[in-house]
Structure 1
């Protein structure tokens, strides 16, 4: 068994696509209309184009809004992305206007920072120390 697709609920798929590709640097893997404005919209890391896909999933289900709001209020990231150098990514993304709710913090085996994805989520970036 392996993970092939994981998702993050987004308030606006077009806005999310701009952020996740234009700012974070992911690339589109699938963009399939589902009727109405919703799409099966996935992105992947350019370093692993056949790797795990991130589905930018519409937040239309009634349970999603309160769930996302509770996570953000408590400072809990919706997901975590691995990076080679958290501090370098923090500098790069800050220069692009990304708002971080937690600057880089050394937690021993990992260094983490948490950003606002502009689509209703907090996203953690993490670097394994010594890796």
Structure 2
């Protein structure tokens, strides 16, 4: 068993594709029209390309409710790993990314949390 796809709900697929590629640095793998939405996936520029992140439209009312509840409670929708949280924090700040948790060191590691502009809080952590 292995993970090939994982999703993050987004309120605007085009805006999400721009943010996840131009700001975060992921690489677009698929952008295929599917009815009124698209099948959009991105992959890590440093990964094998086998694991894809689906930029999933949050049109389902349950998805919207879940996404908003996590956001309102300050809970990240997902986490991405980086080599150096402080360095990534500084790079993303230069691109205007809004952080809700500045780089913080805990016993288990260093992390920070930001708003992805598409309805989610995303955590970065060292690893």
TM-score for both structures, normalised by structure 1: 0.94
Cα distance in 2, alignment partners of residues 119 and 74 from structure 1: 16
Provide the aligned C-alpha RMSD in A.
0.9
Equivalent residue number for residue 124 of structure 2 = 125
CA deviations 1:60-102 (Å, max 9, x no partner) are 0011111111101111000000000000000000011000000
Indicate yes or no: 2:8 matched with 1:16. no
Indicate yes or no: 2:63 matched with 1:64. yes
Aligned to 2:61, the other structure's residue is in SS state: coil
TM alignment of 1:1-131, pairs within 5 A: 1-36=1-36, 38-128=37-127
Aligned to 2:119, the other structure's residue is in SS state: coil
Alignment check: 8 A CA contact 1:45 1:51 kept: no
Q: When the two structures are aligned, how many residues end up with a matched partner?
A: 127
